[in-house]
Every structure is written in C-alpha cells, then in structure tokens.
Structure 1
Amino acid sequence: MHMNVAPHLLTEDRAEFERVVDDALRNAHAHPDLAEAGTRLSTAQLRAMALNATALITTAAATEYDHFVKVREQLREQVRATAAPDAAEVLADGRGGPGVVGGAGVVAVVTVLAPLLAGTAAVIFLLVGAVLKMLDPAPAFADALLTAGLFFGSVAAAGLLWAGAGLLVTALRNSATEVPAEAPDDELTRARAAWRTALLERGLLPFLRDALAATPPPSAPTPAPAPAPTPAPAVRKQTPPPAGRIPKVGYSGPDFTSPNEGASDIRPSYSSPDFTSPDFGSPERRPE
C-alpha cells in the first residue's frame, strides 16, 4: 500500500509517518474514542484510510514538522562544514600541490594490480617448477622457478594486506563526512518528538474518530425464517354408494339378459315336404 504524500512531507519522512499510524492503531484500545476499532472498521481498513489521507493528517502538525526539518538541515550543514576543509585541501594539492591526488591515484592502481599480477606470476612459476621437478633428471632451473613462485606469492599476500588496510583507513576517514539521518542531538530529538506528538494528537486520532463515527455499526444478523410446516396429506373422502345399489366387493356379478334381448327378429320358416303320386314314378316300379 503506497500512501499519498503530502506536498510538505519529504520522502525520507514517509516511513516515520507510517510508524506513527501503526503505533496509533496498535494502541487504539488505550483511547476510549477508538474502542470500536476492529468492529466497525478493521485495522487494515483504518490504516489504508489514514495513508490515503496523509495530506489532511500532516497539515494539522505542519508547524512542528517545519521546525523539525529546519533543525535537521542545520545539523547537516554543520557536518558538511566540518568535513569541507579536508576536501578543499585534497583538491588544492591535486591542482598545484606536491601531487597528492595524482599520487593517491597511482597508489590505488598499484594497490589493486600488485596482488593480482604477483598472484598470477606465483601460480605460473610454481606450476612450471613443479612439472620440471618431476622430470628425471630435473633441470637445474626448476628450483629457481619454485623460488620465484614463492617470492611472488609473498608479494601477492603483502599486497592483499596493504589493500585491506587501505580500505579500512578510507572507510574510517569517510565516516566523518557521512550525514546521519537522525543525529543524537538534543534539539533534533525534541523537534522530532514534538512533531510525532502533534501528528498523533491533532491529526491522526481525530481522523480515526471521525472515520469510526461516520461508519454505521454492523447490524445484527437476520435470523433465518422458520421452515413452513409440512401440510398433512389430504384424506380422500369416499363417496358412499347410492341407496339400493349393491356395492361390489372385489368382483362383479354376472350380467343377465332376457332371451329376447339381442335376438334377431328373423325367425326360421318351415315348408311342408312335396309328395308325388305313384303314377308319376318310373315304369319299373309300377304297382302290379
């Protein structure tokens, strides 16, 4: 989360402002007006709101902040003024003096290159001398190569020690010209404490109180509606059979019909047989 920096709040003081916000939220339980922090609004939400309103909050402590910045700049100017004569002497020597700057440059080059070149020569001489020493018979200059390798190795070790000592001396010399972010000065400490107090009491705490007051309290959860009662199964009413009708119990009675019901109206007709007289028969069967 990046906060919006107020126009008069320097970049180097952003972290200090965030620490004040974190301390206020961490100790919110100590302020009765902030007792609802964490219920109406969470700590993360309040922190985000405070960082987004940096310009509004820091304006309440603008006077103390300007005094703090002025005291800090005065202290830094004093430190620069103390270290300035040394730098002026070095520049003057480099322009027309006995060559301090030029000599320092040559010494730096020799300090860096001497261990490197001596170490490389030592490795070469020692390797070549060891290989020649393994021959049978060994050349006469094999011992000389080994001796030269040991000499250059000693030079490389001495150069490394010299370079380390030079770095240490340079670091100690430059530490006097460093501008501390917060020097242990009584006036600077008091100015910083006054700015933090004004920022907390006149800027941050009122902002947090207003933010909590403008946020409605969380409503109680609505109870879930009771489930509707399950309706009882409807009992189907059986219609009683009409009077005079025999109820059927698992079987039905046979249907009886009258003989005339469904019979065809066409009745069979009968004709009498035809009889002929004997005279009309064949001659063979004529009566005697």
Structure 2
Amino acid sequence: MEFERVLQCALEVVDIRSALRRDPTGRAARRLRDLALEATEEIASAAADEYRDYLAARETRDAREAAEGGLWPVLAVLTPVVAAVAAAVLLLIGYGARLAEVATGFATSVVTAGWVLALTAAVTACIGLWALLRTALRQREGTSECREPAGGTDVDRARERWRQALLERGLLPYLRSHLVADA
C-alpha cells in the first residue's frame, strides 16, 4: 500500500505527468502503473537500506510500546465486554428474582449491581472508541501527501527517508526509462 502511494506521487511528478498527458486515452498511465507494480521488488531494491532502517525503527517502537502498554490495551478491550456480560447476567437474575417474588432485598441489590455494570460497560466502551478514533486520526494525518512533514518520531523520519529513496532512486528512474522506451 505504501509502495502504491509513493508510485502515485511519482506519477504526479511534472515531467512524468506531462509525458503521460500526451496520451489522451490514459492507457499509457495505466500501463506504466501496472509495469511498476509488477516490478515492485526490483524497484524497491533501490531503497533496501532505508527500508531496513525503517523496519528496525518500527520494531523498536513496537517493542517499546508493548513494554509500556502492558495491561491497558487488554483492559480497554475486555472491560466493556466483561461488564456488559456481567450486567446482563445480574439483571436477568435480579429481575427473575423479582418476578418470582423471592428474596426481594437480594433482587434489588442484584438489579442495582447490574445497572452499575451496564453503566460501566457503556462508559468504558465510549472511552475505548474515543481512543481508537484518536489513534486512527493520528495515523491518518499526512498520509495523503506525497511528502510528509519533517520531524515526528524516529519511525516517521525513517519512513520518510525510505519513501524519498524509493521515489528518487527507484520509482522515478524506472518510470522515466519506460517513458523513454515508449517514445
């Protein structure tokens, strides 16, 4: 997917875009894109060192996040589920006891506990969805641009170096050589 984004950026470079506009049918652009996708490994080898650096930075970050994350991600997923199931069970038992008119004090306590757990499930589900949305938006920032802003984390910088190497040493020379061959 990332390769295709960089390929799209390469196809938008001025000289390549100008050459492709000479074909009014648009077949040349599709053909060139298909050729590049078929030669992904060959093209990507031009930026292999930068890609290894990017993978290493990503693995380091993931290991650090796994060590730092610990129990929170597990709790974020399990708390709403467990609370909802427990709430359903307690509410069924409590309302069942009320209908049977058995142990009224017990039934009231169980129903109250069920509603507290239902509220807990709703609140923790909302918090989990908010965290998921925030993470997704953070991940999406800058991905539509051909060039991402400088700075960011080590992973962002390594990824940008890889993308630039892929573009400049891999895709652009490949696309230009195939444009010349077609002319």
Q: Normalization by structure 2: what TM-score?
A: 0.63
Q: CA offsets per residue over residues 205-254 of structure 1, 9 Å max, x none? A: 111111111114xxxxxxxxxxxxxxxxxxxxxxxxxxxxxxxxxxxxxx
Q: CA deviation at 1:201?
A: 1.1
Q: Select between 196-205 and 207-216 the one with higher mean Cα deviation.
A: 207-216
Name 1:35's counterpart in structure 2: 18
Q: CA offsets per residue over residues 58-78 of structure 1, 9 Å max, x none? A: 111111111111122122222
| Alignment equivalent of 2:66, drawn from 68, 80, 94 | 80
Name 2:179's counterpart in structure 1: 212
CA contact (8 A) 1:68 1:195 kept: yes
Q: Check if 1:51 corresponds to 2:18.
A: no
Where does structure 1 differ by over 6 angstroms across 4 or more consecutive aligned residues? 108-111, 147-150
Q: Which runs of 5+ in 2 are unaligned?
A: 73-80, 141-150
2:19 partner SS? coil
Q: Which runs of 5+ in 1 are unaligned?
A: 1-14, 88-107, 129-143, 217-288
Which letter does structure 1 place at the counterpart of 2:37? L
Q: Once superposed, what is the RMSD of the aligned Cα atoms?
A: 4.0
Q: CA offsets per residue over residues 78-129 of structure 1, 9 Å max, x none? A: 2233346x69xxxxxxxxxxxxxxxxxxxx9787345424335426745x7x
Query: 2 CA distance for matches of 1:153 and 1:79?
Result: 40
| Alignment equivalent of 2:114, drawn from 149, 153, 156 | 156
Query: 2 CA distance for matches of 1:112 and 1:34?
Result: 57
Aligned residue pairs, count: 155
Which letter does structure 1 place at the counterpart of 2:117? G
Q: CA deviation at 1:56?
A: 1.2
Q: As a proportion of its length, which structure holds more helix?
A: 2
Decide whether aligned partners of structure 1 residues 122 and 198 sit closer, same or farther in structure 2, where only a CA change above 3 A counts: same
Bigger RCO of structures 1 and 2 (CA < 8 A, at least 6 apart): 2
CA contact (8 A) 2:54 2:155 kept: yes
Which letter does structure 1 place at the counterpart of 2:91? A
